[in-house]
Amino acid sequence: MVSPTFIFYLTLTLFLFLNVSTSTKTILVDKSGKGQFTTVQKAIDSIPSNNKQWTIILLNAGFYKERVTILKDKQYIILKGESRLSTVIEWDDSGNSLESSTFKLYASNFMARNITFKNTYDLVLVNDVVKKITWAPAALLYADKASFYECGFVGIQDTLTDLVGRHFFDGCYVEGAIDFIWGYGQSLYQNSEIHVNGKSIGNWNAYITAQGRESDTQTNGFVFKYCKVTGTGTAYLGRAYRNHSAVVYFRSTFDNIIAPEGWDIWKQAGKEKYITYAEVECKGPGANMSKRVKWEKTLTAEQQKKFVDQKLFLNQDGWIEEQRLHL
């Protein structure tokens, strides 16, 4: 007997084949002038408003020192570099958790591969003095259906402003120290490295996440599946940005940098029963849960599935498979 799941994906594949053009347009960006454009932003600006065709913006290796914004009417864009180590979009700005971002995404239906987004503020010394630690995002995601493959996000505070929408990260690298994955996003981080740059903030504690779910009727949250947490210093897995904050680590590995308590209630004291923070089958020297906060949740099998099952949590309409046809 054919399973309902098989029928669903067969129907989806046929629908996509018949209704969505698999053809793509390619634009080449090269800093030295060997492409159609020398900057990423000019390539994006060349795409017509209300575009319906998947367009690959291919970046030759290089460090692109520019701020990049993709507005709401520029959908169906793929940014593709050579590798996250050799293809970098970077900028130096700070002071605002939204406006200071190096990369800003407002358009749905977006993909990126083999690129690092970096905010260089706080990452360098000026006259041998560390700059003041403040908001300095590398990327702002304010759009639905965005996926990232083998990408990097590097900063110190608010590195990845995972603000609104469904987002999928596979094989990525995220580096920071203070609330460096934060926002209201509904996001799955899979097979990725979360790197705590604790040495950049001295004796302060680091905080990996600051997730902002505000109601038990909302479905957003951050899920880390098969990830590894590495780095230096002492780090909390998350602190509660809003009173229904939700973060789950599933079968992930922790270096010996996790604070024994694991989690911080921050500004939500008294709201512990509403917060969903959980570790499921994690391992490594930082995964000892004997001294974790008492209000950390133990999820039932059904609750786990709602977070960990990609289709239930993130991919209800098959958008990830649809995007991969064009990658």
> What is the tens place of the pLDDT at every residue in 225-276?
999 999 999 999 999 999 999 999 999 999 999 999 999 999 999 999 999 9
* pLDDT tops 80 at residue 210: yes
Q: Which domain holds residue 57?
A: 4-324
Q: How confident is the model at residue 200 (pLDDT cuts 50, 70, 90)?
A: confident
Q: How confident is the model at residue 203 (pLDDT cuts 50, 70, 90)?
A: confident
**Tokens in use for 90?**
């970077």
Q: pLDDT, tens digit, for every residue of 288-311?
A: 999 999 999 999 999 999 999 999
| Position 161, amino acid | T
Q: Residues with Cβ < 8 Å from 20, sequence gap 6 or more? A: 322, 325
Q: Tell me the C-alpha to C-alpha distance, in Å, between residue 51 and each of 47, 255, 290, 327.
A: 7, 44, 53, 17
Average confidence (pLDDT) over 36-51: 97
Q: Does the annotation mark 309 as catalytic?
A: no
Predicted pLDDT at 16: 45
If one counts the domains in the chain, the total is 1
Predicted pLDDT at 41: 98
Q: Does the annotation mark 264 as catalytic?
A: no
Catalytic option among 122, 158, 170, 264: 158
Q: Which residue has the higher pLDDT, 119 or 132?
A: 119
pTM score of the predicted model: 0.92
Q: pLDDT, tens digit, for every residue of 64-81?
A: 999 999 999 999 999 999
Q: How confident is the model at residue 10 (pLDDT cuts 50, 70, 90)?
A: very low
* pLDDT tops 70 at residue 18: no
Catalytic option among 122, 162, 179, 264: 179
The pLDDT mean for the chain works out to: 92
* pLDDT tops 90 at residue 182: yes
In angstroms, rounded to a whole number, what is the distance separating the alpha carbons of residues 177 and 90? Answer: 18
The CATH number assigned to the domain holding 208 equals 2.160.20.10
- Annotate the chain with three-state secondary structure: CCCHHHHHHHHHHHHHHHHCCCCCEEEEECCCCCCCECCHHHHHHCCCCCCCCCEEEEECCEEEECCEEECCCCCCEEEECCCCCCEEEEECCCCCCCCCCCEEECCCCEEEECCEEEECCCCCEECCEECCCCCCCCEEEECCCEEEECCEEECCECCEEEEECEEEEECCEEEECEEEEEECCEEEEECCEEEEEHHHHCCCCEEEEEECCCCCCCCCEEEEECCEEEEECCEECEECCCCCCEEEEECCEECCCECCCCEECCCCCCCHHHCEEEEECCECCCCCCCCCCCCCCCCCHHHHHHHHCHHHHCCCCCHHHHHHCCC
Q: How confident is the model at residue 327 (pLDDT cuts 50, 70, 90)?
A: confident
Q: How confident is the model at residue 130 (pLDDT cuts 50, 70, 90)?
A: low
